[in-house]
Structure formats: C-alpha cells, structure tokens
Amino acid sequence: DAGVTQSPTHLIKTRGQQVTLRCSPKSGHDTVSWYQQALGQGPQFIFQYYEEEERQRGNFPDRFSGHQFPNYSSELNVNALLLGDSALYLCASSLTDTQPRHSYNSPLHFGNGTRLTVT
C-alpha cells in the first residue's frame, strides 16, 4: 500500500522562475493538502483540495496555486519565485467523510516532501 509520494525530491530554481511540485495521495485518500516548512519551523498550511476544488486556503499569496486531478493527485505551482520561498514543501492526504451528522476526516498522512531552493 503506497503512501503519499511527492516529486521531485529536490529542486533548485532561480528568482522569478516558476515551479510545479507533484503529489500522489495515499491509496484510498481523496483529499490533498499542501504545507510549506521553512528551516527550523513548523509546517504552514497553504491550501487543501477536495473534489478538484480548493476548499481551504492559508495565508499565502496568489503566486501559490494548485490543482487536483480526477485521480486525486495534485500539483502545487509557485510563480515569480522569491528567495523566501526556499523551503520543504509537504503534501498530505486524507479521506474526507461527507456523511451528515457523522464527521470523519482521517488524520493527515504526509509525504517526504520536496526541498525547493531558490537562488
């Protein structure tokens, strides 16, 4: 049973460039969330995708955008890269239960992350 997989593992980009990070959720999961983790800090929530739509968003500028595909995989795009965008980008998946009066969102399962370095 494959867990959350992310690609690439490492990436080096130049300021002003654009980058796309990819994530495949754990088998059976339908919701994908993205987090940014700066060195020495805790992860910060970027956004969450469910049913191919952005459902929640953290305090990140519009340069950060995403997409979810019918197979539940997801992409994170960052435009006009800044030095401050250098971080570990973590993808997390979960199963969303939409039954009324019975709420169960499974705990987040994280991937190993993509280490983005902006020079």
Residue found by looking up tokens 């929530």 in the block: 45
Contacting residue, 18, 105, 117, 119, with another protein by CB under 8 A: 105
Q: Does 116 bind another protein (CB under 8 A)?
A: no
Q: Indicate whether 108 belongs to the interface with another protein (CB under 8 A).
A: yes
Question: Which residues, at least 6 apart from 8, have a Cβ–Cβ distance to it below 8 Å?
Answer: 21, 114
Q: What is the DSSP string of 43-54?
A: -EEEEEEETTEE
Residues between 12 and 71 that touch another protein (CB under 8 A): 31, 33, 40-45, 48, 56, 58
Listed ranges 17-25, 63-71, 74-82, 84-92: which one lies at the site for another protein (CB under 8 A): 84-92
Q: By the criterion CB under 8 A, which residues form the site for another protein?
A: 31, 33, 40-45, 48, 56, 58, 88, 90, 92, 94, 97, 101-105, 107-113, 115
